[in-house]
Amino acid sequence: MSMKRTKRHGLDVGNSDGLPRSGGDWFARPANIQRFIYGLYFVCAVLVLADWVYEDPHPYFAVEKIYAFQAWFGFAAFVVIVYLGKLLRLIVRRPEDYYDR
């Protein structure tokens, strides 16, 4: 890789939500990231709607009959896990050289 290229990319530090704003590559373009996210929305919508068209022949538990159960469960579980992580960080976070001092 040439230095010039490295420098150009070195400048395009991502915005605060962690996604890069500009650049020459497909994933570096915000428009493409947005397209990617729209794609995800679309897939999610299809998966929720899919619950109308099929029936689970042998559900193990009653909760599985709730509409799109695993969809909202997955979303909620993910958020809860991340928040528990944030909470845990308050307790267990230490400087990197904690054990070497």
Partner 1 sequence: MIGEFALPPGLVMLLGGAFVPLLGERWRSAGVLLLASLSLVIFCLTPGGTYGQFPFLGVAVTAVRIDPLSNLFGLVFHFAAILAAIFAWHLRDWRQQTAGTIYAGAAIAACFAGDLLTLFVYWELTAIASVFLVWAGGTRQAYRSGMRYLIVQVGSGVLLLSGVVIQYVETQTLDFVSMTPASGVFSLGPLLILIAIGIKAAFPLLHNWLQDSYPQSTPSGTVYLSAFTTKLAIYALARGFPGTEALIWIGCAMTLFPIIFAVIENDLRRVLAYSLNNQLGFMVVGIGIGSQLAINGAVAHAFCHIIYKSLLFMSMGAVLYRVGTVKATELGGLYRSMPWTTGCCLIGAGAISGFPLLSGFISKSMILSAAGEAGLFWVWIILLVASAGVMEHSGIKIPFFAFFAHDSGKRPPEAPLHMLVAMVIAAGLCVLLGIAYPLLYRGLPHQATYQPYTVAHVITQLQLLMFAALAFVFLMKTKRYPAEQRAINLDTDWIYRQALPTLVAGFRIVLGASDRFVRNSAVRLIVAAIQLVKSWFDEHALFGRPWSSGTMTFWAGVLLASCLLLYYWTD
Is 66 a binder of partner 1 (CB under 8 A)?
A: no
Interface pick for partner 1 out of 32, 35, 56, 65 (rule CB under 8 A)? 56
- Count of residues of this chain found to bind partner 1 when the rule CB under 8 A is applied: 63
DSSP 17-82: TS-----SSGGG-HHHHHHHHHHHHHHHHHHHHHHHH---SS-SSGGGGSTTHHHHHHHHHHHHHH
Which of the residues 79 through 98 are near partner 1 (CB under 8 A)?
Answer: 79-82, 84-86, 88-89, 91-96, 98
Interface pick for partner 1 out of 5, 32, 35, 65 (rule CB under 8 A)? 5
**Residue 2 identity (one-letter amino acid):** S
